[in-house]
Amino acid sequence: MKMRRAMHIVLYVLAAVAAAFLIFLLTAVITDYRPDDKEALQDRSGISSGTGTSEALPDSLSILCWNIGYGGLGDDMDFFYDGGTQVRTGQERTITNLDGIISEIRRQNADIVLLQEVDECSRRTYRINEVEMLRKAFPDYHIYMAYNYKSFFVPIPLKAPMGRVASGVVLMSRVEPQEVYRHQYPSRFPWPVSMFNLKRCLLTAAFRLSDGRSIVIGNTHNTAYDTGGMRTVETDFLGKMAAGLHDRGIPFVIGGDWNQYPASYNPSDEEHSNPHFSTVRLEEERLTPYGSIVYDKAVKTLRHLDKPYGPESVLTVTDYFYVSPGIRVDTVQAFDMSFKYSDHQPVLIKVSEIH
């Protein structure tokens, strides 16, 4: 009798575990983020919208690009996905990081700001709405967000799951764009991993120039954790888009965290030593017929997250711009902030004579 009762208990427990897993999987399927290939984005700023055509961008333009690491990857952090042990930093440190990031964006005073890894009420950032923080901090900027990571519950690591994640790329601009779109990259993780992983995208905004023509500003955040195949697909996508803009005579500047180093950059052996995370060479030949890659050769922009920041940290370059012909690049500068608030450094480009 005792043996039978024990067997019943074991069976009930197994059935409960199986039912819980099926409910979890069903919820993941129902709530799975399935963006269209191309989606129009709405202004999050609350600024009264005009037609998007009345005001033109200045002839000399400054664009700031920064992966802010959702305010959770300051110099105190390592990260489990990159060979570290931590999942998230403390709440007070998250707020300190976000305040520091906002102060630096304000100091740079760029015409357009391109941010990656901006969270919106995610568990890893204590459900802080970072888009709302930006809106309040920069009331004169139009703000657009394109999600690239949206899951009701990310179940890794098993001992301390990341939980709910809603995150993406953000474009901020003093001048209202004519139109803003989210473009889904064709690179995808296989099911069921895709339900709990990123769905990478490109955000584009078309602006009017003073001569009546348009310019497209893009914000990209390319795949990090693959063997290079997904990044190649994304590069091909960008190359085809650049070709289309070139054929229509539309200049462009695309900035972001490419998770690849420029072709002219010579990485050290250390930069390929981490088995958990390693960048690959950007296949610029897929892009260069229609533009050039521009980066600061003096300052590394990304640190590996296998350990907190220190003298032995491995640094590399993944943050830069893709600029069409006919645009004069006056300066491109990465700012060494010792990775205080993010695992990336901000990069500012100034361009003029847009033809």
pLDDT of residue 283: 96
Pairing of strands 142-154, 260-261: unpaired
Which tens digit of pLDDT belongs to each residue from 59-87? 999 999 999 999 999 999 999 999 999 99
C-alpha span between 304 and 324 (Å, rounded): 30
Q: Are 144 and 103 in contact (CB under 8 A)?
A: no
Look at residue 236 and give its three-state secondary structure. helix
pLDDT of residue 21: 72
Which tens digit of pLDDT belongs to each residue from 173-196? 999 999 999 999 998 887 877 777
**267 pLDDT above the threshold of 90:** yes
Q: Could you tell me the pTM of the whole model?
A: 0.94
pLDDT of residue 228: 63
Q: Region of 35 please: left (phi>0), alpha (psi -120 to 50) or beta.
A: beta
pLDDT of residue 28: 65
User: What's the CATH code, domain 37-352?
Assistant: 3.60.10.10
Q: What is the mean pLDDT of the chain?
A: 92
**50 pLDDT above the threshold of 70:** no
Which tens digit of pLDDT belongs to each residue from 296-344? 999 999 999 999 999 999 999 999 999 999 899 999 999 999 999 999 9
Cα pseudo-dihedral 157, 162, 167, 169, rounded to 10: -40
Judged on CB neighbours under 10 Å (0-12, 13-18, 19+), 90 is: exposed
